[in-house]
Structure 1
Amino acid sequence: MLADCRDYGLPGMATATRDAAGASASAYTDAGFTDATLFEIGSISKSLVAIAIHRLVDDGRLALDAPVQPIVPDLPLPDAAITLVQLLDHAAGLPDGAPLFPPVPGGRLWTGYAPGARFSYSNTGYMLLGAVLEAAAGQPFAVALQRLALDPIGMASSVPVLRAADRDRFATGHMMAFPARAARPHAPLAVAPWVDMDDPAGSVGATMPDMARYMAFLAAAANGQANGVLSPRATRDFAMRDGVADPEAAPDARYASGLIHRVMAGRRVIEHTGGMFSFCASMTIDLASGAGCFAGTNVSLGGYRPRRISREASRALAGLPPADAPLAPTPFAIPADWKGAGRWIAANGDVLALDRGGCSFAGKSAGLWSGGSGLVTDHPALADWPIETDGDGLWWRDRRFMRSRPAPAQPTPPALAALEGVYVTNDPWYAGGIAVIARRGALHIAGVGALAAHADGSWRFDDPALACERFWFENIVGGRPQQLNVSGNLLRRAAHRRDW
């Protein structure tokens, strides 16, 4: 805990642990944190939503394999039948973050592939499960989740949704002070604004003692033991089902009902992480021993999650020696197989020098880390954009760097140049905005991937793993769109390409 706070500039951390004998404990790096302090657990909330759904299946109010459309007939859902189990396992083909009433052409949700075909993480899917939960339970989501999941498990000090009335009970959340810049260790931080959250994809705030109780419940359920909450059949369906392959987590991972199942260093574990815009967390449970660890920190710092802490602690609590190989990648560490060291030259002769110790550009040296889709640096001239690898070269913004000096770039086609820009919103989930840029005659979302135009007027990623997302350029003024519609989330243009 202390090492991660020191190495990455985290404001604080809390852990809940449970050893092989069933003894639980809490630990905190901040004297202001206590057993009554709430932490946002993010997407770890999904498994609690799944428990509530499985309890309603137990009661005969829902069926896992039944289509959800008749349960929530007023929602503008796709025509293709989507079942509860597909939603629970992220296999419905829905986009990741679209609202349930998306302001898109046609006004309906869509699927990127046939429901049930494969895994694609979808917060929208769990938002839909929340609507199903309300309809089947006949109660508001917060009341139903409290009654069906938190109370039966014994999480009496936790809250089902994030509300300003409970703000004083939470650790103070933090975010990057300059959110438009790529995340890196020791990035300047600021206290994050409070935002109420009742989205079932990640709405729970929990204390450390309650997370220890939850891990005890999960360990028992995943081993088929009576738990007093779910019937034997529902226990199997919730915690022991094979689910779908989750290659985003690991080659051997399976995802079912809000939990990742995998083998790690020869041990079967269940785990999940959570990322909010001012908190993040990781939970790992060793199934053979029942030992587990939840680690949460009150900051959002790019892709950082305290996986190493939860994984190594759960193994130690099981009475096992350290694994032969690291159980989690070191956050922000440049991969061992990285081949980008050396000199890179732009068309105008500028030289970018990279090595594992940092980067040098325009006479100044700075740090260099792995982050997102490429490398990030705190160099004052380069900090706003990632350095991305593409084939035999690098991209920084729209500038190409090669081992030998490249030819000057061809002019961007006017139709694409009109779409380029930075698009922003007050929504904290899009802090820093989205940059749209043209490279080699193709449109890109910076740091993510290339887009292609489709006959229905939408733009979509070339990468099949991102096939569920849709983009529309809207509100054209003077030939330039003033709004970017990202799967139903509206961002306004903040800068033209010439202003970068």
Structure 2
Amino acid sequence: MTVHRRDWLKLAGLAGAFAAVDPAEARQAAPPATATVSAAGAGHDYRPAIEALKRYVDGHLAAYRLPGMTLSLADAEGFSAVLVAGWSDVERLQPVRPEHLFQIGSISKSFCALRLLRLVDERRLSLDADLHSLLPGAALPDHARITLRHVLTHSSGLPADAPVFPRGGGETLWQGFEPGTQFSYSNTGYELLGHLVEQLDGVPYHQALKAAVLDPLSMNETRARIRVADQSHFAASYSPAYVDRPFVRGGRLAPAAPLNFANAAGCVAANAGQMAIYLHWLIRAGRGQGEPLLSDASRRAFVTPAIKAPEFGPQAQYALGLAVVPVDGRPCLHHTGGMASFSSSIHVDADAGVGAFASVNARAEDDYRPRQVTAYALDLMRAVREGRPLPSPPPIPSATLVEKPSQYAGRFVAADGAAIELRPAGDGLVLVADGAPRNLQPTGDGVFTAVGPADETSGLIVKVDGGVARSVGWGERLYQAPGVAAPPPVDPALTRLAGVYDSGDPWTGQAEVVARPDGLWLGGTTAMTRLGDGAYRVGGDAWSPERARFDGDLAGRPQRLNLSGVDLRRI
């Protein structure tokens, strides 16, 4: 990836530009969803379903405060349709058009898997080959055997986003667990697979992918790398205006700087018509037809679940480059994609013969992807095919919805006497501090983002025992419920590590390290546990492969945080 720092600084300077056209006014005036049927297929009239989907897309964009969306629909009989809604460029009032390219993010991984499976069919690779022997120059850990299958299924134990040649910790990659024993999403692993493709094909990855996958599928308008030079073909896109805080629903957006990106983990860009072509092939592949790409054995491997993947849902599994998840009790191929300023989702129900893809030209809410849109599109199309009434649109969950808010309620006091209160309010919670209420948006189990006043946001974590909240970690303070024993003072060895560290790029952004009586926390909500080699494990799971190291001491404080191989400087 190449993002010039001057472009990133320019982006920061444009932080208020999204408001050049008032966002509320822009949403009211935004072009409503329109649909174009490019191929009628045979035997099914989807027009009522499309009208229902258009209404849902309009409501979805308004509820999440999104600029625009592109959407593809396909079925087993050849039907194709494209929907577009909202603005490509909010400032210039330019609507999203069907030909606009959108970055599909991690859905790109399925294309990488297809290229590798074609190499398997050519007998140039084995899924059980050791990555050490395939990429002898890579900075791989030498104590465990990592196979191609492990990397394709995110079970290699490699970290999520470390550079393939990381700085710090011996200058090699590391593992959090024995390969094959856990699922832990790794963009790093897929970046390595892209380099493997380059080595075997003898050309840059984007050329190899075009020749071996995109051209055979007739996806001639799809880009296998993202380039600033192609920016005029893309929808304009938006990212959070502030890199120093959690991003919440309705947060301020700013125009995103264009970027160059050739990493196999997420380098594909396509318009909705091109993704409809891919949906057709995925439907056929799920039904046993791998042509024109794969042998039957490779096709089965591509769509067959290999490992449980709770990151995609409680019953989700992962195959090779795609997840398999239940939608209304039916197994569907699925993936999402998140880039710095695009969010995407794809669902395919091969048994029912339907598929949908959607992409939004913004990163909105930290974990947002348009999953609801593609899942609802499947449900509508299945209803048409099964001759039943169209389903009602799924409710869009409130940003503040909290399950069992009463278990978090109470008054909590810190060691210095500062007090806060968590109160049930509406469908969620508010935090009251110094007499000022702040809405809480849940982001995980017991983890929240406090919103306001103004554009301020901050992370907060509540520890619950026996259905009762015992403590609240917010900023540098640990607030405790009445009757809970006073915590020990903050360890001075942790205090020296606390601070704000900045990477200077939009992917890693800033990281705040907080020292409290209950330990060291990244962003105030993610545990950091000291390991024997001086590094800190990041994350609550004992097998988490994410690591943090501190160095460059000056006046007793480290000036550098190395977060999973990426350097951030104290600011």
Q: TM-score, normalised by structure 1?
A: 0.92
Matched residues in 2 for 1:175 and 1:372: separation? 22
Match of 1:474 in 2: 551
Residue 380 in 1 paired to residue 453 in 2? yes
Instruction: Give the partner amino acid of 1:455.
Output: G
Residue 338 in 1 paired to residue 338 in 2? no
Instruction: Give the partner amino acid of 2:242.
Output: F
Out of 95, 98, 101, the residue aligned to residue 159 of structure 2 is 95
Match of 1:95, SS state, is coil
Matched residues in 1 for 2:395 and 2:548: separation? 34
Instruction: Give the partner amino acid of 2:516.
Output: R
Match of 1:283, SS state, is strand
Matched residues in 1 for 2:58 and 2:407: separation? 32
Cα distance change, pair 286–395 in 1 and its aligned pair in 2 (3 A): same
Q: Is the 8 A contact 1:356 1:368 kept in 2?
A: no
Cα distance change, pair 343–42 in 1 and its aligned pair in 2 (3 A): same
Match of 2:137 in 1: 74
Q: Is the 8 A contact 1:265 1:327 kept in 2?
A: no
Match of 1:196 in 2: 260
Match of 1:131, SS state, is helix
The runs of 5 or more residues in structure 1 that have no matched partner are 495-500
Residue 40 in 1 paired to residue 103 in 2? yes
Deviates more, 1:380-389 or 1:433-442: 380-389
Cα distance change, pair 329–480 in 1 and its aligned pair in 2 (3 A): farther
Match of 1:400 in 2: 478
Residue 165 in 1 paired to residue 229 in 2? yes
After the TM superposition, which residues 277-288 of structure 1 pair with which residues of structure 2 at under 5 Å, given as runs? Answer: 277-288=340-351
Matched residues in 2 for 1:325 and 1:470: separation? 45
Deviates more, 1:292-301 or 1:11-20: 11-20
The runs of 5 or more residues in structure 2 that have no matched partner are 1-56, 87-93, 465-469
Measure how far apart 1:118 and its partner are: 2.0
Q: Is the 8 A contact 1:345 1:406 kept in 2?
A: no
Residue 127 in 1 paired to residue 191 in 2? yes
Instruction: Give the partner amino acid of 1:38.
Output: L
Measure how far apart 1:206 and its partner are: 0.7
Out of 423, 437, 442, the residue aligned to residue 354 of structure 1 is 423
Match of 1:497 in 2: none
Measure how far apart 1:249 and its partner are: 1.7
State the number of aligned residues: 492
Out of 369, 381, 385, the residue aligned to residue 317 of structure 1 is 381
Measure how far apart 1:330 and its partner are: 2.7
After the TM superposition, which residues 400-419 of structure 1 pair with which residues of structure 2 at under 5 Å, given as runs? Answer: 400-404=478-482, 410-419=488-497
Instruction: Give the partner amino acid of 1:64.
Output: L
Instruction: Give the partner amino acid of 1:339.
Output: S
Matched residues in 1 for 2:392 and 2:554: separation? 56
Q: Is the 8 A contact 2:441 2:448 kept in 1?
A: yes
Match of 1:385, SS state, is strand
Q: Is the 8 A contact 1:41 1:281 kept in 2?
A: yes
Q: Is the 8 A contact 1:285 1:291 kept in 2?
A: yes
Cα distance change, pair 458–196 in 1 and its aligned pair in 2 (3 A): same
Instruction: Give the partner amino acid of 2:549.
Output: W
Q: Is the 8 A contact 2:75 2:280 kept in 1?
A: no
Out of 272, 276, 286, the residue aligned to residue 212 of structure 1 is 276
Instruction: Give the partner amino acid of 1:28.
Output: V
Matched residues in 2 for 1:128 and 1:465: separation? 25
Q: Is the 8 A contact 1:182 1:386 kept in 2?
A: yes
Matched residues in 2 for 1:383 and 1:106: separation? 38
Measure how far apart 1:289 and its partner are: 1.7
Cα distance change, pair 106–403 in 1 and its aligned pair in 2 (3 A): closer
After the TM superposition, which residues 99-498 of structure 1 pair with which residues of structure 2 at under 5 Å, given as runs? Answer: 99-239=163-303, 241-301=304-364, 302-319=366-383, 330=397, 332-340=399-407, 342-347=409-414, 348-357=417-426, 359=430, 360-372=432-444, 374-380=447-453, 383-391=456-464, 392-404=470-482, 410-431=488-509, 433-461=510-538, 463-464=540-541, 467-494=544-571
Measure how far apart 1:482 and its partner are: 0.3
Q: Is the 8 A contact 1:76 1:107 kept in 2?
A: yes
Matched residues in 1 for 2:369 and 2:281: separation? 23
Match of 1:498 in 2: none
Residue 49 in 1 paired to residue 112 in 2? yes
Measure how far apart 1:349 and its partner are: 4.6
Cα distance change, pair 353–461 in 1 and its aligned pair in 2 (3 A): closer
Matched residues in 2 for 1:272 and 1:242: separation? 13
Matched residues in 1 for 2:535 and 2:473: separation? 25
Match of 2:473, SS state, is strand
Match of 2:570, SS state, is strand
Instruction: Give the partner amino acid of 1:96.
Output: A
Q: Is the 8 A contact 2:406 2:424 kept in 1?
A: no
Q: Is the 8 A contact 2:376 2:394 kept in 1?
A: yes
Instruction: Give the partner amino acid of 1:131.
Output: H
Match of 1:183, SS state, is coil
Instruction: Give the partner amino acid of 2:562.
Output: N
Q: TM-score, normalised by structure 2?
A: 0.81
Cα distance change, pair 265–190 in 1 and its aligned pair in 2 (3 A): same
Aligned Cα root-mean-square deviation (Å): 2.4
Match of 2:170, SS state, is coil
Measure how far apart 1:409 and its partner are: 5.9
Measure how far apart 1:20 and its partner are: 5.5
Matched residues in 1 for 2:396 and 2:319: separation? 24
Cα distance change, pair 407–362 in 1 and its aligned pair in 2 (3 A): farther
Match of 2:64 in 1: 8
Matched residues in 2 for 1:8 and 1:466: separation? 34
Match of 2:116, SS state, is helix
Matched residues in 2 for 1:406 and 1:264: separation? 43
Give deviations 1:112-141, integer Å, cap 9, x for gaps.
111122211111110111011111111111
Instruction: Give the partner amino acid of 1:194.
Output: P
Instruction: Give the partner amino acid of 2:491.
Output: P
Q: Is the 8 A contact 2:116 2:197 kept in 1?
A: yes
Matched residues in 1 for 2:422 and 2:455: separation? 12
